[in-house]
Amino acid sequence: MKTAAVTKLGSLKELDPAKRGQLEILDFPEKSPDSEEVKIKVAYCAVCGSEPHIFEGNYFAGIQLPRGIGHEVSGIVAEVGEKATRKGLKVGDRVAANFLCFCGICEYCMSGKQQFCPHRRDYMRPGMAEYVTWHEQQIYKLPDDVSLKEGCLLEPTAICVRMVDKMAPKIGQTALVCGGGPIGLMTIQMLNLCGVTSLTIIEPIEKRRALAKTFGAQHAIDPLSQDVEAEVSRITGGKGFDCVLDASGALPMMSKLPELAAMGGTIVYGAMYPLSYEMPLNLSSYLYTKELTITGVYVAPYVFPRAINTLSRLNLDDFTSKVYPLEQAYDALLMNITGEYTKILVQCNSGLE
């Protein structure tokens, strides 16, 4: 079975090929499903923004090589274990998946905190492959009006749903998204559905600012050429934003976000940050005087059924336009870091649409 796997660590942004991380297509043993597992013939696997970071070693510790990648997956059910019957899945069903499997019986799962389940990675098998075998719990049947290209975006859609949950916007509140990558642009669409006002994006790439406006953003700020604080003050009448999301991971912006939030506002830090990064925070100004709620998002427990229902409400054309074959997965990752396309898909088996 062909699988895209990291075989060498290094920065993909490095111009010297000898110092770059390396991705190869390796043959891994094909796994038959156990009694509660489902085997998927993978149609598409989207490149996640976390995957180039794997090569750099700044965000993940103790990476063992070779390591298969890919977790934003859609495909066709190829085999069903004899006890994988609770969701009614059958061979030929069009499906998408959550790459994590929660045990359901640990203290965290039983207390509504699945994201901390110590067994959540037991089934974390790489999905940028011809086939992947996961537990039935992880698999979701796609609605008829959602294509397989759109379906592979289920996992990032679920992340966005949870981010919006944690922002907790109310109709008429103001909202700001920092970062116009896939997560930021999906969340812009969801916040627009929620009825927020003065919806604003901070994004340096002009194409993505324009795209955000087609998705419902009323204002767009270029942090390279505009005074962000002045623009936020102008847009909000000096009050700041009720709901703030960082989907950029741009470190120069991180300590500025509390200043951009309104009194009693909520800030969600939803990107990935270097393991060694520490952000200064004036407790008196932001937690005492402004009573800000500051939180983060790790994974997306409990929201996948709602994310499935949300997929057809999103405009995903720009997220599915650039597709590479599995044999060119390394090129797909290199293209991903250029930011030229909103999202990059890898087609793992041809003929599945």
Average pLDDT over residues 302-328: 97
Q: Round to whole Å and give the CA distance between 46 and 51.
A: 10
- How many Å from the N-terminal Cα to the C-terminal Cα in the chain? 21
% of the chain exceeding 90 in pLDDT: 84
Average pLDDT, the chain: 94
Tell me: pLDDT of 150 over 90. yes
- How does pLDDT run across 58-90, given as a tens digit for each residue? 666 667 888 899 999 999 999 999 999 999 999
Percent of the chain with pLDDT strictly greater than 70: 98
> Cα 70 to chain center, whole Å?
12
Q: Which of 14-23, 126-135, 175-184 has the lowest mean pLDDT?
A: 14-23
Can you give the pLDDT at residue 60?
63
CA–CA distance, 227 with 210 (Å, rounded to integer): 19
pLDDT (mean) for 231-256: 97
**Per-residue pLDDT band at 265 (split at 50, 70, 90):** very high
pLDDT at 278: 94
Whether residue 239 contacts residue 200, with contact meaning beta carbons closer than 8 Å, is answered with: no
Taking domain 2-153+316-347, whether its CATH number is 3.90.180.10 is answered by yes
- According to CATH, the topology of domain 163-296 is Rossmann fold (3.40.50)
Dist CA 225 CA 221 (whole Å): 9
Can you give the pTM of this predicted structure?
0.95
pLDDT for res 52? 83
Every domain range in the chain assigned CATH 3.90.180.10: 2-153+316-347
Question: Looking at the predicted structure, is the pLDDT value of residue 36 above 80?
Answer: yes
Q: So what's the pLDDT on residue 58?
A: 67
Phi then psi for residue 49, to 5 deg, are: -60, -20
- Given a cut of 90, whether residue 145 has pLDDT beyond it is yes
pLDDT digits (tens, 9 = 90+) for 196-237: 999 999 999 999 999 999 999 999 999 999 999 999 999 999
